[in-house]
Structure 1
């Protein structure tokens, strides 16, 4: 298992709907019957998906070298149960990116990222554990209690589900901001899947159980260690209150 490749590469295979949305919406923009700006489409979707919003923003900050801001944004995404962002926090703390290196706290965050048993994060958690001495391991267990109390699924999932319910009530029966001629990309276990704009209303993007199931399907199919970007595939698309610093 390798953890030496560029960090952003791990998450691109299961990255954001909204990253691809920005890139592809401009092409489809001229075809949109209501001439809705692609930025408005992104904003409308991300308003009720803060997990994806802050992960996207965190990746952008990371890629421009602003690690302190990236760490802050990944924590915001983690607040809504985003396991990829929780893993990024763990990796950055391990490497000392955006803050002083803290192996004990890094392990606590990677353990949190592995909470649902996703192979990618389980492998990284075990890699961290094997490199720590007994004292650091003990500290990581102690620090993990506070991390779980604030960011664990028991509290983070209800926050995200509240956002999904609010968004679902807004989009039900309305196509405002989401146009059928708009083509966007969504992550799948093998790479990217094309999705038409109207499919953004798919229940798996708005209903609580389906939303978590979609994430489980994506991440549990990922290999241990590094997540690679696969080829574009055609397949079925997956059917705020913001944390104060």
Structure 2
């Protein structure tokens, strides 16, 4: 039987649903990649270990998702921006969707494209697809403005500026935890956030593994999850997992800029 062609609107809705599904796993308890019901921002052992303090990308993304799922979009935006400041591509993608949909901000399709272009900087298929769909729906005035505002975003949030920040946090975190007097026994279990927002349980002895602290290994771990994520589709109460062929890995349309490595952190609301 010949498959029906996918409508652009339906395809974008599926991509949007997939982005939220994967990112929201820690907040919703969805059964993805080693998910558990533990909230790492409230887990005593994880907090004592200092894991989240040294992984601001995941820490602020998860806090932003809690706000988002409660409909507190105006609080979610600065927290996604703080995560994005530390090279978190999923948070940059969420900011793109929020500007496109007008959640917590006025609809701004040029700014939405600029954020999604940042999210697609490493060639992750899901974000590339979203970026190209944005571009196809924008007029020439919006496209020109997207490339203009995109330069400011790349200067502050692009990998050339953001990766050194998270790299420094990871290295400092490893030195701080391994140099402390409170080591972790092999019998102790710790809840560690995965790059996709889900949780995994590890033994204390594994807490110092390179993939949690070495910048090169840490980003290879992220790449393994985000390079080709599943796309979720919801049809009349039934969830179906599908995969879409990724868009061609087109380079960014935004002109290259000088990275602002000394930019100030975005301010965030105080935790309740």
Q: With structure 1 as the length reference, what TM-score do the two structures score?
A: 0.77
Aligned match for 2:111, one of 105, 109, 115: 105
| Secondary structure of 1:5's aligned partner | helix
Show the 5 A alignment for 1:70-219.
70-172=76-178, 176=182, 178=184, 180-184=187-191, 186-187=193-194, 194-219=201-226
Q: Show CA shifts across 1:106-165 (max 9, x none).
A: 000000000000011011111111111111111101110000000000000000011011
How far off its partner does 1:202 sit?
A: 1.0
Equivalent position of 1:5 in the other structure: 17
Q: 3-state DSSP class of the match of 1:214?
A: helix
Higher Cα Rg, which structure: 2
Give the secondary structure class of the aligned counterpart of 1:184: strand
2:74 alignment partner in structure 1? 68
The secondary structure found in structure 2 opposite 1:195 is strand
Contact 1:123/1:224 (CA < 8 Å) preserved in 2?
Answer: no
Query: Corresponding residue for 2:44?
Result: 39
Deviation at 1:243, TM superposition (A): 1.4
Q: How many residues align?
A: 220
Kept in 1: contact 2:99–2:109 (CA 8 A) = yes
- Report if the CA contact (8 A) 1:94-1:103 is conserved: yes
Identify which of 59, 62, 69 aligns with 1:56: 62
2:51 aligned counterpart, secondary structure: helix
For the residues of structure 1 that align with 2:210 and 2:107, how far apart are their CA atoms?
41
2:252 aligns with none
Structure 2 unpaired stretches of 5+: 1-10, 28-33, 234-238, 242-262, 268-272
Deviates more, 1:67-76 or 1:166-175: 166-175
TM-score (norm 2): 0.70
Please point out which of 226, 229, 235 is paired with 1:222. 229
Match of 2:257 in 1: none
**In 1: Cα distance, 2:180 partner to 2:36 partner:** 20
- Mind listing any 5+ residue stretches in structure 1 that lack a counterpart? 26-36, 231-240
